[in-house]
Structure 1
């Protein structure tokens, strides 16, 4: 269903008992939408939780939106959605880029975010760009060289990252999946029209034009005072070892879990274990 939030309408998919502990899912991409995650985990998690999936403004089944996008704007949307749903607080789960949003949200609204879960998050663009490029390099023609970057993250660095991964062509998904799940297909790829998928381009362009997208969020980890769970796929090419180390060192109530067989999509590649892990954490 569409719910009016601030100056837009967000598509919200709610599953499970209304009186069960609420869990908000924040999708990645940027601009991927919540359809894939809910296809793999929505009904599973809803057996014991009140699952709330939201398409960020302008994405997938939310109202088309051509306005500005920033991480702070998206977090304001989530908080307005919580109020619209009449929830005093909720746990949040962010995948990939959604992990950035989850970290910001947990720090900015500690009284309304009770627990936070990160799945293969992208907290520092420089670090995870280096990790991603090193994962992609073996699949490229011999002699290919990853662009070198120094200093803070920039739009040029991000564009070079996108182009570098694009050179993989049909092999792009190989770096995101574990060796035993290379045949995994993402349902959203065929569930929506090209027009709907194209909305992600505006979302990405606006986001990449905002300064907050390139900020390293590692300093925020020390401000997370909620119970926090970091789920890392053993073959994930995004979250860097440095980011994991900072989480383990800086988050007082942090728990680290390695799903050794999975890649970037642990919620799909190790679905049963993922459901148990997330459910137990939220209910604990």
Structure 2
């Protein structure tokens, strides 16, 4: 359904028992939307939790973006949705870029976030884009498209919008083969359902991404926030995921007071699709943990 939230309409999908513990899904991208996650996990998770999935403002089935947007806006939107649904507090689950938002949200609103689940998060954009480039370098070289990659890797940051644009632009040279970087070997034939959505819906992702990457918050390293995280936290990491760097994993294990690290052998960036059954079990158990 569409909900009037802070001057726009957000698409909010609710599933599961109304009185079960609430779990909010924060999608990645930036600009990906909730459609794919719901296709793989929506009904399965809703058997035991009250699952709420929100397309961020301007994304997918929410109203098109009509102005500027920041990460703080997105978190304020989530809080407004929580209040509108009369949920006192919830567990939050952030995938990829959504894991970045989940960390901001948990630290800034400790009273309304009970637990945090991160799936292959992007906490530091210099490290994330470096890890992506290193993962993509062999394929870029194979295709003869790697000109300039070493210069991009020589830049040690800090992250800037120009760095993000240049590094992601390098990976865009891969075209249809780019998805090979994100999937484990056994999942190379996986198709994302959102690819079949109308072009007008899919195009909203580009507008959102172009807007959010220009904000200072987007390139800020959130690694210092890990030490401030007061909630129990679960980090899910696919063995072949090219996004979350070893440095970020190490900081999670060192700095988070009540943190659990769970690697998934054989999976890539989309653990929720590549290892769907075990993912459902793990997330449900963590969300329902006393």
TM above 0.5: yes
TM-score tier by shorter-chain length is over 0.9
Instruction: Report how far residue 193 of structure 1 moved.
Output: 1.2
1:245-284 CA-to-partner distances (Å, cap 9, x unmatched) read: 0000000010000001110000000000000000000111
Q: Which residue of 1 aligns with 2:76?
A: 76
1:255 to 260, 281, 286: 260
- Judge conservation of contact 1:115–1:226 (CA < 8 Å) in 2: yes
- Judge conservation of contact 2:268–2:274 (CA < 8 Å) in 1: yes
Instruction: Report how far residue 44 of structure 1 moved.
Output: 0.4
1:177 to 183, 192, 198: 183
Q: Which residue of 1 aligns with 2:209?
A: 204
Q: Which residue of 2 aligns with 1:106?
A: 106
Task: Give 1:1-284 correspondences, 5 Å limit.
Answer: 1-142=1-142, 144=146, 145-146=149-150, 147=152, 148-190=154-196, 192-284=197-289
**Counterparts of 1:277 and 1:227 in 2: how far apart (Å)?**
14
**Counterparts of 2:239 and 2:156 in 1: how far apart (Å)?**
27
**Counterparts of 2:214 and 2:127 in 1: how far apart (Å)?**
20
* Normalised TM-score (structure 1): 0.98
Runs (4+) off by over 4 Å: none
**Counterparts of 1:56 and 1:188 in 2: how far apart (Å)?**
15
1:91-128 CA-to-partner distances (Å, cap 9, x unmatched) read: 00000000000000000000000000000000000111
Consecutive unaligned residues of structure 1, counting only runs of 5 or more, are none
1:201-240 CA-to-partner distances (Å, cap 9, x unmatched) read: 2211110111000000000000111010000000000000
**Counterparts of 2:173 and 2:206 in 1: how far apart (Å)?**
18
**Counterparts of 2:140 and 2:61 in 1: how far apart (Å)?**
35
Partner of 1:105, secondary structure, is: helix
Partner of 1:258, secondary structure, is: strand
Instruction: Report how far residue 194 of structure 1 moved.
Output: 1.1
Aligned positions, number: 283
Instruction: Report how far residue 151 of structure 1 moved.
Output: 2.5
Instruction: Report how far residue 200 of structure 1 moved.
Output: 1.3
Consecutive unaligned residues of structure 2, counting only runs of 5 or more, are none
* Normalised TM-score (structure 2): 0.96
- Aligned CA RMSD, in angstroms, stands at 0.9
**Counterparts of 2:239 and 2:189 in 1: how far apart (Å)?**
17
Instruction: Report how far residue 150 of structure 1 moved.
Output: 2.5
**Counterparts of 2:198 and 2:41 in 1: how far apart (Å)?**
23
